[in-house]
Structure 1
């Protein structure tokens, strides 16, 4: 299967696609948050292709604090998407790369009015901002192709809310041992309650990509 197949159907919207790169034991980073790089170059190029197809790339504040990413398209041709970061408590400092490089419009979904970036004020509860409210705010700006690039808590919250169309998880042949988990969902009593969506499996260099179609999930 070519990488184009993994991007099939994403030229038009609306859609919400999430991606995580993890170790074989389910970690996306070390305990201190280091994640450069869990997956290989082929998966990094794939990430940039998804960015180029998206109207908006969405991440949590923890991803920005740990990695200080640019969230731009560099390894493929295409335009930079709008960058959006979920920062309910307004904790990100003004010196983050996305607030200073001028490479793309940068939105902050937050409950705090003062701070860097173009701020979209949304209600923030004990568990942060509801995923449905985030999607409604982005779609209200005409952003209908949403790529959620991390981190694990952010992707898990959208998965739990049933708001993902596809989930792609690239598994690298490494064991981190302990660290930040990829997917975390509420406990279940038996495996018949586990999510078993249709899945395509794609070798990606040394990694293996699992592409879940959540639109067809039971």
Structure 2
């Protein structure tokens, strides 16, 4: 396990990588570079990149059965999430997360620019009074099915065709964002949204941030398609980082995704709005 320390110098260097500067900020000879393996893959601009982030307890829970998810992550886990937001173009959540938590999805626990906020809202449930629609922050994009009535709400609306089961395709969602030059994406929640992007083999890196608490019951952070045998379980390359109050498992899913994309029978995983 590697301990990670993010100094002001290193963070400014990472932000310069995020901006795609020809000459990134030069580091001093004695710079503490322990954070580079964790954050540099997100900051570098090299085409489409999808990061999924889960903050959970030791027993894999993201909230209590009543839905209380506040303070699941420690202070350093929250700072890590906000750093991830600051290094991407857009952050994606399902409308269920907006209804349950009313997040702002901005960068507050780290210096940097907030990302564009994207809400997958298949059936048009986006609350008019949602915080992100009224905080004067970064633009909000709502993605819904093309057979749902369009509503004015001070945000951009993207309409996509429903698939056979009435849901939206994660691949179509990423394509629509890429058309708007939003190529680096953080898929933040909820569990169904993250799981569908993983099942679709579209996630390059998965960060599982574990906080030393035991909730005992409640929803899990990831719910993938069921498997019958452990031999079918995914075993990505993993690096483990001690970031202070939390431990981050950095799972490299890119190789697995590339192999799956090469299979002729690979099916597109469908996207609902129940996150």
TM-score range, shorter chain: over 0.9
Q: Which residue of 1 aligns with 2:67?
A: 33
TM-score (norm: length of structure 2): 0.75
Q: Which residue of 1 aligns with 2:16?
A: none
Give distance in 2, aligned partners of 1:184 and 1:148.
Answer: 14
Q: Do the aligned partners of residues 27 and 127 (structure 1) sit closer, same or farther apart at CA in structure 2, a change above 3 Å counting?
A: farther
The partner residue of 1:121 within 127, 136, 159 is: 159
Q: Which residue of 1 aligns with 2:182?
A: 143
Q: Deviations over 1:31-68 (max 9, x none)?
A: 22211110101011111111111110111111111111
Distance apart, 1:207 and its partner CA:
2.0
Distance apart, 1:4 and its partner CA:
3.8
Give distance in 1, aligned partners of 2:95 and 2:170.
Answer: 14
Give distance in 2, aligned partners of 1:42 and 1:216.
Answer: 29
Give distance in 2, aligned partners of 1:192 and 1:124.
Answer: 33
Structure 1 residues without counterparts, runs of 5 or longer: none
Distance apart, 1:21 and its partner CA:
0.5
Distance apart, 1:127 and its partner CA:
5.7
Conservation of the 8 A alpha-carbon contact between 1:94 and 1:115: no
Give distance in 2, aligned partners of 1:105 and 1:23.
Answer: 31
Which fold has the larger relative contact order, with Cα–Cα distance below 8 Å and residues 6 or more apart in sequence?
1
Q: Do the aligned partners of residues 139 and 32 (structure 1) sit closer, same or farther apart at CA in structure 2, a change above 3 Å counting?
A: same
Distance apart, 1:171 and its partner CA:
1.3
Alignment of 1:37-116 (within 5 A): 37-111=71-145, 112=148, 113-114=150-151, 116=153
Q: Which residue of 2 aligns with 1:170?
A: 209
- The answer to whether residue 59 in structure 2 is matched with residue 9 in structure 1 is no
Q: Do the aligned partners of residues 110 and 169 (structure 1) sit closer, same or farther apart at CA in structure 2, a change above 3 Å counting?
A: same
RMSD of the alignment, in Å?
1.5
Distance apart, 1:7 and its partner CA:
0.8
Give distance in 1, aligned partners of 2:179 and 2:65.
Answer: 37
Distance apart, 1:93 and its partner CA:
1.2
Q: Do the aligned partners of residues 152 and 115 (structure 1) sit closer, same or farther apart at CA in structure 2, a change above 3 Å counting?
A: farther
TM-score (norm: length of structure 1): 0.94
The partner residue of 1:189 within 214, 228, 232 is: 228
- The answer to whether residue 190 in structure 2 is matched with residue 156 in structure 1 is no
Q: Deviations over 1:88-134 (max 9, x none)?
A: 01112100001111101000011232253311011234362111011
Give the 3-state SS of the residue equivalent to 1:48 in structure 2. Answer: helix
Distance apart, 1:155 and its partner CA:
0.5
Structure 2 residues without counterparts, runs of 5 or longer: 5-34, 260-275
Conservation of the 8 A alpha-carbon contact between 1:34 and 1:66: no
